[in-house]
Chain A
Amino acid sequence: MQFGLSEEQRLIVDTTRAFVENELYPHEAEVERTGVLRPELIAEIKAKAIAAGLYAANMPADVGGAGLDTVTWLLYEKELGRASYALHWNCVARPSNILLAGTPEQRERYLFPCIRGEKSDCLAMTEPNAGSDLRSMQASAVQDGDDWVLNGTKHFISHADMADFVITFMASGEEDTPRGKRKKITAFFVDKGTPGFSVRDGYQNVSHRGYTNSVLEFDDCRLPKQQVLGEVHKGFEVANAWLGATRLQVAATCLGRAERAFGHAVSYAAERKQFGQQIGKFQGVSFKLADMATEMKAANLLVFEAGWKYDQGTVTDEDMAMAKLKATEMLAFVADEAIQIYGGMGLMNDLPLERIWRDARVERIWEGTSEIQRHIISRALLRAVGG
């Protein structure tokens, strides 16, 4: 294992960082103030991101992506993560890896247009009564001849208002297992405009202004069987095969944002004077910096080690859970301490700190709550000793 960056990785980090600082930072204040990401702004930045090869760079080279290994992809995510989520996610999109699981026709219709920036995707699993316990979902898909008929409600679905289609997971039956009955799940592509499918505005969210969430309603929404993604009743298998690393993606974006907050905090500690000296000279402040830096380093090591193991094919669910848990909790800590070091000024929206602090909150909830990550880690520990 080696810890240094290759020349290529360094260039990718530099170019992504320069793009984020020059093309995304200048628009953050507008998105925060209005809570809206203007379509013209998306189009303008998207064109630049495509020219720089940053758009959909998470995808393999043979389908038009950058073909990055996992570690390099995470370095790129970390840099993007410095900026407002709404801006980097919508203007420098990373289409879901699950699109790679499609048939050749589905790839033509959904994957390639997403990579070219002509379409955008969203992914719907969560329901009002099924969050962490996804398997208990109630939205259903029932076979009717060659068609499927979908009914039910999904909520918290990110950027579904802007997406051209959704990949939705529906309960498609039940099976007996040694531990009792269990729902079978099937994944479907549903285009916007399909009769019986509608998208409503979701909730106002404390984190990530401009990054919308929606409620999806399926009301006798009829789909031909070609809309099934993967095998019938194997929706979670497809998700597990293709979405495993999204937890590392969330973790990596947290690393970037923490670094940005820390950068502000450390310069302020060297600049701001009270009681006749730099506040960084007070141990009460400098020890905070030491703890922040140490936490950041620990989180970086966990995330990139998991990424490295992902490429070796040796990564475990626990590795990714630890990385996600540590990086998201570290960000909350670093953002909070950065504000403390600034005092009152830290809460004002002249600086990105109050935003980073608010934005940090959702990271411990989505892509599996901190409790669910701890559950994954502890389950593996106990299983190893027969627990």
Chain B
Amino acid sequence: MKVLVPVKRVVDANVKVRVKGDGSGVELANVKMAMNPFDEIAVEEAIRLKDAGKVEEIIVVSIGPAQAQETLRTALAMGADRAILVKTDETAEPLGVAKVLKGVVDAEKPGLVILGKQAIDDDANQTGQMLAALLGWAQGTFASKVEINGDKAKVTREVDGGLQTIDLKMPAIVTVDLRLNQPRYASLPNIMKAKKKPLDEKSAADFGADLKPRLKVVKTEEPGGRKAGVKVKDVAELVSSLKSAGVI
């Protein structure tokens, strides 16, 4: 079985994000970029499935600017086998991305697509679900455990109030949550090998899709600063102030 793992290049989680002067978005010039942390977890899960003999080939795909090649190389250095860069200078929006991914799935015929549950840039949390709808495949979102048995995937999902376990008929879509695994370091020997792994450059049109923006960004602004809190001397005062604040 082939597994497809989409990976996104986003602002590094440790960077303090700043809004651009004109409010059109966040500042990306000279900012450290990295693989979306949820996508690292997705790549790691694919590698573990391969190590367990459930998967033969791991294909990583990124939709983004030329520099997204760096993100793909990181995935190859972690252990993916082959990469596809769908190059675009448009902002990648969930539906456009899902349409391109559908094209990639039609071309590559993976038995499983593992995605991050969301990208930490706009936190949309939509791509996996949209892809499942476009393909008409089963989906297991927010996975904290994945087991593959023949043509079934058993996925433990982190849902409000606890865990839910579902069986999916393959082929299927899985989106991963934070606690699924701890991604490995790209090891030095694998970094050296990654250079020789294939990385194909394609366009959205090659997959019969387009990435024209479907959304319009009206304005981007910083969240308001936190107001200073108050100190309470005991539980009774805490409860009464929560009541008067209308919280309880």
| Interface positions of A (Cβ within 8 A of B) | 7-8, 10-12, 14-15, 18-19, 51-54, 57, 66-68
Q: How far is the CB of A35 from chain B (nearest CB, A)?
A: 29
- A66 touching B192 in the complex, CB below 8 Å, given contacts A15-B187, A19-B185, A51-B187: yes
Given A15-B186, A52-B187, does the pair A7, B70 have CB atoms closer than 8 Å? Answer: yes
Q: Is the CB of B70 within 8 A of A10?
A: yes
Q: Quick check: B185 and A18 within 8 Å, CB to CB?
A: yes
Known: A66-B192, A67-B192. A11 touches B187 (CB 8 A): no
The residue that A15 contacts in the complex, of B70, B188, B195, with Cβ under 8 A, is B188
B189 at the interface (CB under 8 A from A): yes
Give bound CA distance, A7 to B191, whole Å: 9
User: How many Å from the CB of A266 to the closest CB on chain B?
Assistant: 12
Residue of B nearest to A22 (CB): B185
Q: List 5 A-B contacts (CB under 8 A).
A: A8-B194, A11-B74, A11-B77, A51-B187, A52-B184
Q: Once the chains are docked, how many angstroms separate the CA of A15 from the CA of B78?
A: 10
Of the candidates B34, B184, B187, B192, the one whose C-beta lies within 8 Å of that of A8 is: B192
B192 surroundings in chain A (CB, below 8 A): 8, 66-67
Residue pair B185, A12 in contact (C-beta under 8 Å): no
- Kindly report which residue of chain A lies nearest to residue B77, judged by CB atoms: A11
Q: Which residues of B contact A (CB under 8 A)?
A: 34, 69-70, 73-74, 77, 184-192, 194-195
Instruction: Give Cα A19–Cα B188 distance, bound, in whole angstroms.
Output: 12
A10-B70, A52-B185 known; 14 new pairs, CB 8 Å cut-off, are A7-B70, A7-B195, A8-B195, A11-B74, A11-B77, A12-B188, A12-B191, A15-B77, A15-B187, A15-B188, A18-B185, A53-B191, A54-B185, A54-B188
Is there an interface contact between B186 and A66, defined as CB atoms closer than 8 Å?
no
Q: Collect the chain B residues with CB atoms within 8 Å of residue A8's CB.
A: 191-192, 194-195
- Measured CB to CB, the nearest residue on chain B to A48 is B185
Q: Which of B73, B189, B194 contacts A53 (CB 8 A)?
A: B189
Q: Are A11 and B186 in contact (CB under 8 A)?
A: yes
Please indicate the chain B residues that have their CB under 8 angstroms from the CB of A18 in the complex. Answer: 185
Contact B188 A14 (CB under 8 A): no
For the complex, give the distance between the alpha carbons of A66 and B192 in Å.
9
Residues of A within 8 Å of B185, CB to CB, are: 15, 18-19, 51-52, 54
Residues of B within 8 A of A67 (CB): 192
> Is the pair A52, B188 in contact by a Cβ cutoff of 8 Å?
yes
Q: State the CA gap A15–B192 with chains docked (Å).
A: 13
Residues of A within 8 A of B194 (CB): 8, 11
CA distance A12 to B185 in the complex (A): 10
- Whether the Cβ atoms of A66 and B73 lie closer than 8 Å is no
Residue of B nearest to A67 (CB): B192
Residues in chain A near residue B195, CB distance under 8 A: 7-8
Which residues of B are found within 8 Å of A12, using beta-carbon distances? 188, 191
Complex CA–CA separation, A52 to B187 (angstroms): 4
Q: Which residues of chain B have C-beta atoms less than 8 A from A19's C-beta?
A: 185
B115 → chain A closest CB, angstroms: 22
Min Cβ gap A66→B in Å is 4
Query: In this complex, what residue of A is CB-closest to B188?
Result: A53
Shortest CB-to-CB span from A314 to chain B, Å, is 26
A57 to B195, CA, bound (A): 18
What's the Cα separation between A223 and B97 when bound, in Å? 70
Q: In the bound complex, do residue B73 and residue A7 qualify as a contact, i.e. CB atoms below 8 Å apart? A: yes
CA distance A245 to B224 in the complex (A): 52
Considering the complex, give the chain B residue whose CB is closest to the CB of A267: B16
Q: Most chain-B Cβ atoms within 10 A of its Cβ — which of A10, A11, A18?
A: A11
- A57 to chain B: which residues have CB within 8 Å? 188
For B74, B187, B195, the residue with the greatest tally of chain A CB atoms inside 10 Å of its CB is: B187
User: Would you give the shortest CB distance from B68 to chain A, in whole angstroms?
Assistant: 12
Give min CB distance, B64 to chain A, whole Å: 16
Taken together as a complex, chains A and B put the C-alpha atoms of A15 and B70 apart, in Å, by 13
By a CB distance below 8 angstroms, the chain A residues around B191 are 8, 11-12, 15, 53
Determine the chain B residues whose CB is within 8 A of the CB of A15 once the complex forms. Answer: 77, 185-188, 191
Chain A residues contacting B187 (CB-CB under 8 Å) are: 15, 51-54
With a 10 A CB-CB cut-off, give which of B74, B185, B195 has the most chain A CB atoms.
B185
Question: What residues on B are CB-neighbors of A7 within 8 Å?
Answer: 69-70, 73, 195
How long is the Cα–Cα vector from A54 to B190 in the complex, in angstroms?
Answer: 11
Judging by beta carbons under 8 Å apart, are A11 and B189 in contact?
Answer: no
Contacts of A68 in B (CB 8 A): 188
Q: How far is the CA of A26 from the CA of B21 in the complex (A)?
A: 37
Contacts of B77 in A (CB 8 A): 11, 15
The residue that B74 contacts in the complex, of A14, A53, A66, with Cβ under 8 A, is: A14
